[in-house]
Amino acid sequence: MIKKILIANRGEIAVRIVRACSELGITSVAIYTDADRHALHVKKADKAYNIGSDPVQGYLNAHNIVNLAVASGCDALHPGYGFLSENPMLAEICARRGIKFIGPNAEVIRMMGDKIEARKAMIKAGIPVIPGSEHNLENVEEARTLANSIGYPVMLKATNGGGGRGIRRCDSDAELLKNFDRVVSEAGKAFGKPEVFLEKCVVNPKHIEVQVMADTHGNTIHLFERDCSIQRRNQKLIEIAPSPQLTEAQRQYIGKLAVRAARAVGYTNAGTVEFLLDSDNQFYFMEMNTRLQVEHTITETITGVDIVQEQIRIAAGYPLQYKQEDVHYRGFAMEFRINAEDPKNGFLPSFGRITRYYAPGGPGVRTDAAMYSGYVIPPYYDSMCAKLTVWNLSWESVMERGRRALNDMVVYGVKTTIPYYLEILKNPDFRSGRFNTSFVDTHPELINYAVRQPPEMIAAAISAAIAAHNGL
C-alpha cells in the first residue's frame, strides 16, 4: 500500500485528500507558496513544504514538485483538480522518477485533453458526438465554411481547453469573425496551445456528467450521474446527483455510455464523462475530465463510495472494491460552490479576511472548506472557498435542507454567493426540477433579490470586524 502522498494542490481539495490519507493511515505532505503560508491544507497535513514566493507558478512547476516528492520520501502524488491535474507532463515525470501518479497515465490524459483526439476516440467507440470539426482550424475562413455547413449557432472552443475558458458562442458569420482571434489568443494564454476547433451549438441543453472508476485489472464501473446545468458563463454553480431530470432508462443508458467511453481509451482511476442532453432527449459526448471533479462529493453522498480513497487504492494496484451491481444510489444530494464573489456586482471576486465563519451541521450536511475565522483569502486563486453538500431522500426535501444549511452557514468579511443560491432555491423553475444551462441567464432577477438576511447578522459582522481590527 502507498505510505506517503505528496498533494500537488491547495485549498479545499488538498484538505479533502489529507482526510482520505488520514483514514488510510497514509502520511500526507502538503506544498504551499508564501501566499498560502497560513492556508488550512498546510495546517492539516502531516508535513508541509514551501515551494517559493510566486503564488501561482509554484503550483505549476512539475519538475520541482516531483523532485520534492522524491526528496521527502513520498511514493505517490495526488494532483487534485486544476493546476497540473490534467497535464500529462506531470504524470510522465512521476513515472520516470518512480512516483505513483494518482490518476490515469500520461497517454490517456494527453488524448482526452485534446478535444479533437477525444472526439475521434468517441466516434470510433460508437459514442454520439456533437457535429463539428475533425481537426484544428487553420484560419477563420475554414471556420466560416464549416459553420455554414453545419448551421449556426456554433461554439468556438480551445482544443486543449477546460474549466469553461476558451469558449465562445457564435450566432453569425460576423460573430465568428469577431471571436476567432480572441479564442485563439485565450487558448494560447490559458493552455499554451493556440489551437481551436468548432462544433454545433446545442441550444439550452442539460449538462449531465457521469462519474466513472476503473482499475488496472480491467474493471470499469460508473457511479451514476450528476446534473451540472446550473452554471454561469460555463462555470458550474450548483450540482445535483442524481439528476432530477432523467428517467431511470436514461440513467442506465448514459451510465453504460460512460463506461464504454472509458474502456475505449484504456482509462484507469477516477474520471468524468460529460454529456449534453438536447431538447429531443439525445445525449452527446462533450468531453472527459481525467481527474477528480470538484463535485465528487455529491456522488460520494448518494452512493457511499469514498472516491478519493478508491483513487489511492487503484494507484496502489488494488482492484476496485465494487462491481457495478454493488453500486446503488439513495436520495438526492446537492452541492453549492461557495464563492467569494459579489452577485450584485457582476460576481466580482471579494477577497479579504474572513472575520467570522461557522459551518452548518445537522443530518445530511457536509462542508468542504479552505477557510476559517481570521483566514485571509488571497487574490491569486479561484474564488471558491468552500463547498456545501446536502442530502435528503427526496428532491423536495433536499432543497429544503439546502435552504436551511445555507441560512446556517455564516461567512463574514467577504461577499459570497450564498444569498444568490437561496434565491435559486425559491425559484419555481428550479424547484420543478426542469432546468437547463440557460437558467442563470433567463433569471437575472434572482441577482437583484439576493440580499444577505437579518439585521442582527449585519450587527454581528460589524462587531466581528471591529474585534479583528483591534486584534481581539
Give me the active site residues, please.
291
**How many other C-beta atoms can be found within 10 angstroms of the C-beta atom of residue 164?**
12
In sequence order, what E strands does 191-307 have?
Answer: 196-200, 206-214, 220-232, 235-241, 269-277, 283-289
SS3 331: coil
End-to-end CA distance of the chain: 46
Beta bridge partners of 353: 376
Between CA 262 and CA 219 the distance in angstroms is 11
SS3 433: coil
Between CA 91 and CA 69 the distance in angstroms is 13
Q: Output Rg (C-alpha) for the chain, integer angstroms.
A: 22
**DSSP run (H or E) holding 250:** helix 248-264
- Contact status, residue 315 vs residue 268, Cβ threshold 8 Å: no
Whose CA is closest to 323, among 305, 309, 301? Answer: 305
| Alpha-carbon dihedral sign for residues 314, 319, 325, 329 | negative
